[in-house]
Amino acid sequence: MRSILAIISILFIYAKCDDKYNEKRKQLVELELRMALGGNTTLNDKENIVNNCLMQHKFNELDYGFDNPEHYNLSHHFFNYKKQIQTSKVYKIIKSMPKGAVLHVHDMAIIGPDYFLNLTYMDHLYVCFEKPIRFWFSYNVPNSTCDGDWKLMKNVRKAAANVTQFDADLRKHFSMVCDNPDVVYPSIKETWTTFMGYFTTVYGLISFRPNWEKYFYDALKLFRDDNVMYVEVRSILPNLYELDGTIYDKRITAKAYKKAINKFVRDYPDFLGAKLIFAPSRKVDTTVLDSDIQTARQIKKDMPDLYAGFDLVGQEDLGNPLIEFVPQLLQAKDLDFFFHAGETNWYGTLTDENLVDAVLLGAKRIGHAYALAKHPALIREVIEKDIGIEVNVLSNAVLSLVKDVRNHPLNIFLSLNLPVVLSSDDPGAWEADPLSDDFYVAFVGVASRLSDLRMLKGLALNSLKYSALAPERKVRAIHDFNTKWNDFVNNFDCKSY
């Protein structure tokens, strides 16, 4: 009898221990969920209906991937699964959801290759078949050098044996997408070589003044169609040109931006507009930087409602680090900085230490910040100074920083509730949506399996909170977003997805 009582007593003690362990475990799991972005958000009844539908579809996708890892698309290159995204019910919900603003996108890589292919049917277009291929509009043969000869585009197309095949081959020059990306892009060197060649190719097509305003107007239309309500675009401000050879300075390009934005807002009053971040190359000397700073100051003075800030762009590993420009940049903090920094896999180099200088120089937001997870002191600074982090998941995947998006540091940023803003960088270059593809991949492939509608709403609100909009405009923006959000949840029908 005593032995039976002893066993019962031991089992009771174990049970109590298990209860304490399980309770402590439950508390830790719940604490982490509350700490993450959106963790303290409370959903109303209608939002819960949306969330239940969304999460059911998300769990189905992830559970299948967990049980069949060889078929988990998001562990592969984006080019291999990009078309399959559109069949996802999670994607379809995200596509219809208001997503706030895009705060990190480069102007010449917003629209996809078909748009540029159509431009090659315009009159007075010359082509130079060197690598990368170049285009130029002119009344006469362009006088710039060409390894071969400048040829009139319509004559080249007319001489093609098969115009359909000719256009299909030509289209490839306006996109990085290929059938075997792991072979074509074995390292960051090949990726960035092709990426930079893309910009060389499209430059002459859209810096032709009559094309520039229409291009950006059409780009804004794509954003609006993707349920984006505001954009901050980075631009090198290419010098626009005319058929007669006239070349304008960068302020004319900025004015063309303003004209296109004003026209778009008149046509679509629900769109909040766009601002410009002047972003010249970081691969320059101090003399050129001085000139760029003066250009930025002039634009800010002449068009304060258009100007948002200043950045330096280009592949960070090959460009000049910010530390080389600190004396000049300290004298130019009135320009408001939105620096690319930490877009690298390296650790303890001048490249990832761009993050240090971006913080110390008072950047309002940091572009990419991919290496930030390796710098705990800087994470603390980002939190204390409330510096927005512009994350571009698909860009980092396509441009050879991460192969499997489950390893993207965004999951760390989200778990710590850092001030993350999700953007798309150069979606046209890899034929992605203006924003929905990035939202989908971040939500399904990077964030926690348990991250839900609250995180998505938090990301959208962050994009407005950390924008360069004036305070009173932010209030309006958030009000307008909430109106669109309520329309979304009130009209939601799970059977439609």
**Token pair listed for 326:** 């600190």
Angstrom CA distances, 38 to 229, 384, 420, 487, stand at 21, 19, 11, 20
Q: Checking phi first, is residue 259 left (phi over 0); if not, alpha (psi -120 to 50) or beta?
A: alpha
The CA distance from 201 to 275, in Å, is: 25
Evaluate whether 78 touches 182 at the Cβ level (below 8 Å): no
Residue 177 near residue 429, CB atoms below 8 Å = no
Q: Which residues pair with 309 in a beta bridge?
A: 277
The answer to whether residue 343 is catalytic is yes
Assign residue 361 a region: left if phi > 0, alpha if psi is -120 to 50, beta otherwise?
alpha
Q: Of 77, 104, 368, 408, which residue is the catalytic one?
A: 368
Cα–Cα distance, 81 to 89 (Å, whole number): 15
Nearest one of 462, 98, 486 to 271, comparing CA atoms:
98
**What DSSP character marks residue 446?**
I
Annotated catalytic residue within 343, 353, 390, 431: 343
Radius of gyration of the chain (CA): 25
**Is 353 annotated as catalytic?**
no
Token duo for residue 425: 């960088």
The residues assigned a catalytic role are: 343, 368
